[in-house]
Every structure is written in C-alpha cells, then in structure tokens.
Amino acid sequence: MTLPRFALTPGEPAGIGPDLCLLLAREAQPAPLVAIASRELLAERARQLGLSIELLAVEPQRWPDAPAAAGSLYVWDTPLAVAAEPGKLTPANAGYVLQTLTRAAQGCLDGTFAGMITAPVHKGVINEAGIAFSGHTEFLADLTQTSQVVMMLATHGLRVALVTTHLPLKDVAAAITVERLERVTRILHADLRSKFGIDAPRILVCGLNPHAGEGGHLGREEIDIIEPTLQRLRAEGMNLIGPLPADTLFTPKYLDQADAVLAMYHDQGLPVLKFKGFGAALNVTLGLPIIRTSVDHGTALDLAGTGKVDIGSLQVALQTAYQMAASRAD
C-alpha cells in the first residue's frame, strides 16, 4: 500500500529552517517527506554544518512512494531569487518563501500530500518586499479559501486553542463576540473529532476576566457572552466546561480529564503551554481543509548555520501531522 506523502517547507532561507530540515534528515522518517526548497540552499547549508546529506531530486508526476533512507532527503527544487546567507535577511527571497508554501498547500489540496509541516518564516522581511503578509495561518486560509481558522498550540498532555490571536490587549475584550466564540468553538470541536480522532472532545473554556468575572464584579463578558454561547453549544451535545478562571483551570484537577483548552487570548494560554513543553511543542492550524502543523518558535537568525539548534519542535510537528493524517484516514 502506498504510504501517505508529506510536504516540508523550510521557511526563511536565512534562518534555521534549512538547518532543521537537514538535521532531521539524519534519521529515516516513517513516511515519504518532501522538502520544498532550494536544492542549492540545502547543499550549501549542509556544507556549512558539516553534514553529509544526500539530496534526492523529486518533481511532479515522479513522487516517491517510500521514505528516504537515513542521511537523505527528498527535495522538490524551488530556486531562490538570490543566494541566502545565514542570519542575513533579504527581501528578494520573499517570493521564494511564499512559493514553497503555495506548492505545499496546493499539493495538499490536490491529494499529492497528506499534510504540510512548516518551519518558521520572517513576517517582517516579506512585508519589506512589498507583500502584505501577516503569517502562515492567514496566508494558508486565503490560499485554501477558508473563511475562519483557529490557532492551536500543543505539547505532550496539553492542547491550547485561541479565540483571539495577535491582538493588543486593549482590543481583546471587544473581539470576544458571540459570533467569534461560537465559530472558534465549533472549529475546535470538529477538528478534534475529524483530525485527532477524539469522538467526544472535552473542552475546558477560560473566562476572560480574573476569577472568570467573579459574578460580574470583575467584568460581564462571562455573563453576557461566554456562558450563553457555551450553553447553546452544550445543547447540541458539545462537552464544554467553563468559563473557568484561567489561574485555576491550568491545574491537574482539570487538565487530566481534558482534550483541549480554549483560551480567550494569546498570553492567557500560551505561557503555560510553553512552560510545559518549550522545545517539544507545535502549532496546528485548525479549520483548514488540509493538515498543517508547524514549529512553535521563530527563525533564530543568530543560530542559523551554527548547528546549535534543537529539532524537538519540528519532530513533534511531524509526528502530529502523521497522526492527524492517520486519524483522518480511519
């Protein structure tokens, strides 16, 4: 039986993404993994790192059906605009970065790939190239014509999804609307079932305010928005617990029986997750028609080409993508 095939994008060419791909290639993967990258970039970075990695050329209509051997990596050559140096950003390669993402996502949509795994991009240098770009998540949502996506980070024993993502704190309360909360909760519940194989997900929901509003004395969002929305979704059969005070929700009493936590804003849920699993956590985009996982860290320009990088997050992102594809196939 043909094994499912996965796409790997190295992200910013001046960052640690190419290093991660090469370091990962030292060990065999359980499925065919195709790096969509500049072959020249990977060869040069391997030389800088002192790695002997065989770069195996692949192209459309000639896809591999078996995993590459340890010490080798399948590469769908995607040329750079200009040569990349570790740690030195250049806007000229912004188009290259987006082309790798487009090839991977289109391959997922047409069934060539069962999922895509992404190394970090640098949003700033893409915008400096005159291309409006706010991140992987938004780019892939536009490319796949997905109206609503949800950001979820995960590590061993904990998944945290976000109602709002990269907003100033002063804007968060206004963004917690009945419509947004309902959409995010539905996507989280649906993807835990379809992509993680959890038949009846148990989701813990954070309150927005300290002490979950303390009966309205510390804010009314829980009373006016969060609780009525959860109650309506519970009536449909969803197992939603909350709203709970975030300072007590993240304790074993609650987490030991939970499949995911829904946090109201970025720094409510993610500090706990990163404390628990930094270096072994991943980012998952929920709501897409494709499987996309990513590392949970940035481009680390100062470490590019040094060999002093940890591939733990990329390994977890790969393992999770494999598991999600298997759950989807069942």
Binding site members for substrate? 136-137, 274, 283, 292
271 cis-preceded (ω within 30 degrees of 0): no
Q: Quick check: helix, strand or coil at residue 44? A: helix
Report residue 211: phi and psi, to 5°.
60, 25
> How big is the CA angle at 74 (ends 309 and 320), to the nearest 5 degrees?
60
One-letter amino acid at 270 equals L
Alpha carbons 26 and 40: distance in angstroms, whole number: 18
Q: Which residues participate in the annotated binding site for a divalent metal cation?
A: 166, 211, 266
Q: What is the CA radius of gyration of the chain?
A: 20
Within 13 Å of residue 224, how many CA atoms lie on the same side as its CB? Answer: 12
Q: Which residues participate in the annotated binding site?
A: 136-137, 166, 211, 266, 274, 283, 292
Burial class (CB in 10 A: 0-12, 13-18, 19+), 307: middle
Strand residue runs (E) in 78-212: 115-118, 150-155, 158-162, 202-206
Q: Quick check: helix, strand or coil at residue 15? A: coil
